[in-house]
Amino acid sequence: MTMLTIQTQPIEGQKPGTSGLRKKTNVFMGPHYLENFVQAIWDGIGGIAGKTFVLGGDGRYFNDRAAQVILRMAAASGAAKVIVGQGALLSTPAASHLIRSRGADGGIILSASHNPGGPDEDFGVKYNTANGGPAPEDVTAQIFKATEAIKSYRILEAQDVDLSRAGATKLGEMQIEVVDPVADYQALMQQLFDFGAIRALLARGFSLRFDAMHAVTGPYAKAILEDALGAARGSVINAVPSPDFGGFHPDPNPVWAKPLVDLMMGPEAPDFGAASDGDGDRNMVLGRGIYVTPSDSLAVLAANAHLAPGYSGGLKGVARSMPTSKAVDRVAEALGIPCYETPTGWKFFGNLLDAGRATLCGEESAGTGSDHVREKDGLWAVLLWLNILAVWGGSVRDLMQAHWQQYGRNYYSRHDYEALPAEQAEGMMAELKARLSDLPGTQAGGLVIESADEFAYDDPVDGSRSEGQGVRIGFEGGGRIVFRLSGTGTVGATLRVYLEQVDAKNLDLDPAQALAPVIRAADEIAGIARHTGRSGPDVTT
Ligand code: G16
């Protein structure tokens, strides 16, 4: 085996976004693109000699090839060991768990999450640190700096490593351990949840449908929901990971998981429905005839987590991303625990979880998780729901109704305007930011604006400050709009408009109706139609 040093030069645009570096697959497959970024990771973290890493991905197109390149580059730079998921597969939460449980120095996850996969779609590379979580901003800044300074990368000339079977092997001097991607994760779930109670619930005829969306959660959901818990065969659908996710977006929301939503709203609905995304960290939850917004899911899980063994001691605190609805805030208040508001991006929860300040975290973008790993975790959320329902005894609808009666209801929706020309989206945001100080006291959509600012986050653990994290508009009575540009898209700019209205009395309104004044206000305040020329959002969730 020969160690090669390949001359290269910086490639523009290798700045990690909200969650790693995401680009079109053919960009990643271009000359030196993946190699430059991987070498920049090694350089950005101060070298990898003698270190141990975890490696796996969501099985999308190029996952297998990229894994082989990364193994050869890790061996060439002196890594001691890489623990790889069989077939180069690992869900994001399972990778996070492996990094933690094996005491690894970090890990690389190959995924563009909920973005579609295939030769013409998206690919991504994400670096996680030793705590199992996404690299924080200071680390991604070092990696980006290294992409701008790179002159060469090191790679071993070698045959592919056989990743099709679990077991130990070597590449040059580096050890490779190929592991069953599901086993360790399943053991962790068994520690956190009362599998006996869930099994009994399912044995009583409680029916469920889990849509793995042709993505990585399929094998996990089959093993846990069907094999271990006894859900009827066929309860997990689209369970075989495919490189292009069957041609769909593996994004568990009412748009991309419409067949599941239709089923849950129809006469044949099972008791419980759920879906997960490309890399298994997102979740969507539904009951018969009811869709649970991710923000509500976080609030309900926080209020009832103590019903599951892993959380029976109560929660130390909760955290939500800024655009996530404030439903969980009232639960935290009632429980007498702190509630943290962080910028969008799971990486911002890491310090709070590590410091023991928060136990549960969640985001409007279909993410919920806890301190069991340092990523959001789709199947974990499903199991916590099932454990709660098994103990609580009622349906999803009953649980939501009881929750809203106690805490009031936060009607919530997100409007996405996708693939906008970047200058157009940035121009709109700049105009909006310039007007912020004039807005309080004025009216929009018939609502009185109470506050208007741009969110900045001061991390209470390490004191770091993150500015420019989205524009917040607050209305009298508790309504809210947040405007921000996505950090995960790969084409142009995506404008996200987050809409929220609180109602303590009317708990059964159509969300679109409850939110109508806030939606009108969003356009009046930001001039969305004027700037974008669009009459409405591309995706409403
Ligand atoms: C990632 C991040 C999340 C974030 C989401 C959307 O999720 O981990 O924290 O909420 O992107 O981010 P944005 O609004 O910037 O597009 P995932 O599931 O894509 O890894």
Residue 176 near residue 240 (C-beta atoms within 8 A): no
Q: What is the C-alpha to C-alpha distance for residues 272 and 396, in angstroms, rounded to an integer?
A: 7
Q: Is the CB of residue 344 below 6 angstroms from any atom belonging to ligand 1?
A: yes
> Using CA of residue 128, residue 190, residue 338, residue 395, what is the dihedral sign?
positive
Query: In the structure encoding, which two tokens stand for residue 67, read together?
Result: 């894994």
Residues of the chain under the 50 pLDDT cut: none
What are the contacts of 257-265 at 24+ separation with CB within 8 A? 257/211, 257/213, 257/284, 259/211, 260/209, 260/211, 260/284, 260/286, 261/286, 261/291, 263/209, 264/209, 264/288, 264/289, 264/290, 264/291, 265/289
Return the pLDDT at 472.
97
Among protein residues, the one with the nearest Cα to ligand 1's atom 3 is 345
Which residue type sits at 423? E
Q: What is the C-alpha to C-alpha distance for residues 97 and 132, in angstroms, rounded to an integer?
A: 7
**How far from 87 is each of 62, 63, 216, CA to CA, in Å?**
12, 9, 11
- Which residue bears the tokens 């969110």? 455
396-420 burial, b at 16+ Cβ within 10 Å, e below that, comes to: beebbbebbeebbbbbbbbbbbbeb
Q: Is the CB of residue 347 below 6 angstroms from any atom belonging to ligand 1?
A: no
299 phi, psi to nearest 5 deg: -65, -45
CA of 68 to the centre of ligand 1 (A): 27
Which residues face 495 on adjacent strands? 417, 485
345 CA: nearest ligand 1 atom: 9
Query: In the structure encoding, which two tokens stand for residue 402, read together?
Result: 């009881």
Q: Is the CB of residue 19 below 6 angstroms from any atom belonging to ligand 1?
A: yes
CA of 103 to the centre of ligand 1 (A): 26
Q: Is the CB of residue 371 below 6 angstroms from any atom belonging to ligand 1?
A: no
**At CA 97, angle to CA 228 and CA 460, rounded to 5?**
130
Return the pLDDT at 489.
75
Query: Catalytic site residues?
Result: 113
Q: What is the C-alpha to C-alpha distance for residues 139 and 329, in angstroms, rounded to an integer?
A: 30
112 CA: nearest ligand 1 atom: 19
Any residues with CB less than 8 A from the CB of 367 and at least 6 apart, and which?
Answer: 281, 282, 283, 294, 346, 361, 376
Any residues with CB less than 8 A from the CB of 212 and at least 6 apart, and which?
Answer: 218, 221, 236, 237, 238, 239, 241, 275, 276
Residue 111 near residue 278 (C-beta atoms within 8 A): yes
**How far from 112 is each of 7, 47, 244, CA to CA, in Å?**
28, 25, 12
Residue 350 near residue 342 (C-beta atoms within 8 A): no
On the 0-12 / 13-18 / 19+ scale of CB atoms within 10 A, 535 is exposed
3-state SS assignment for residue 486? coil
Closest CA to 139 of 44, 51, 54: 44
Q: Is the CB of residue 539 below 6 angstroms from any atom belonging to ligand 1?
A: no
Q: Is the CB of residue 418 below 6 angstroms from any atom belonging to ligand 1?
A: no
> Using CA of residue 55, residue 37, residue 134, residue 367, what is the dihedral sign?
negative
User: The whole model's pTM is what?
Assistant: 0.94
Closest CA to 412 of 532, 516, 498: 498
Return the pLDDT at 422.
92
Q: At what angle do helices 33-44 and 63-76 cross, to 10 degrees?
A: 50
Instruction: Kindly report, residue by residue over 346-360, the tens digit of the pLDDT.
Output: 989 999 999 999 999
Q: What is the C-alpha to C-alpha distance for residues 327 and 502, in angstroms, rounded to an integer?
A: 9
- Residues written for the chain: 541
Looking only at the bridges linking them, the beta strands covering 409-420 and 367-370 are unpaired
364 CA: nearest ligand 1 atom: 10
CA of 488 to the centre of ligand 1 (A): 6
Any residues with CB less than 8 A from the CB of 395 and at least 6 apart, and which?
Answer: 271, 287, 288, 389
- 45 half-sphere exposure, CB direction, 13 A CA radius: 24
Q: What is the C-alpha to C-alpha distance for residues 257 and 248, in angstroms, rounded to an integer?
A: 9
Q: What is the C-alpha to C-alpha distance for residues 299 and 361, in angstroms, rounded to an integer?
A: 10
Q: Largest Cα–Cα distance in the chain? A: 71
